[in-house]
Structure 1
């Protein structure tokens, strides 16, 4: 009989290795996204909006807001060292932001099982909710960290 893997124990034991991996996202780094909180069921990231991140109307491009939300989702769904890939996302934009604003995305795990994970991501400017995203991940059999045998 296979022994059940304790994923919370993996998260706690390999926290530093997992953190190093999820912080080293080249695209997020190129945008200036910073990981500010990282737990087993939660991730928070922030981004200061630069002048080149706007659309023709002078407000933050939706792709920038999406990238921030997607990064927080990626960190949250990979928190257990198991390679997880985004399968589906739905985002709603509710309010705009402008250059100089600091955006914060918070990804919360809603439910996780062997193969899938479900997440709710909220993006804020100060206390204003500007976007929400629902996301689902596919959890592979592969771990991106070295587990003790």
Structure 2
């Protein structure tokens, strides 16, 4: 396993120091790492384990358990499609299948050109307007394949 860049290691240590006395510090630290770097690189796992005096397995377990954490950078545009029951009842599964076909990736993957990452979520709080999705930070309701295409194209071209 390669060692992370020294500047990354220093930044991770600084984030740990900012939360050192906090109970349950790992989650807020991981959120800050992802916010700053865009993902939680596997190379920072041993640094976090050492700094927090926990096992690498504990850190890895948290990173892989929570779907909000990424192990690699996301695409320039992130498309999250809701798969909760209310959205399922109005066509979410068909919309996910359509998105996978048109983007050429499965949920959890990024297009080869790095333009779009397709993700799933299990409720955006937009249940009355399903199927719902989130493109970058904006929630959209009543998505159809055509509307999804238009919104993704607009986001990618922005």
TM band (smaller chain): under 0.3
Is the helix fraction higher in 1 or 2? Answer: 2
Rg larger for? 2
Is the strand fraction higher in 1 or 2? Answer: 1
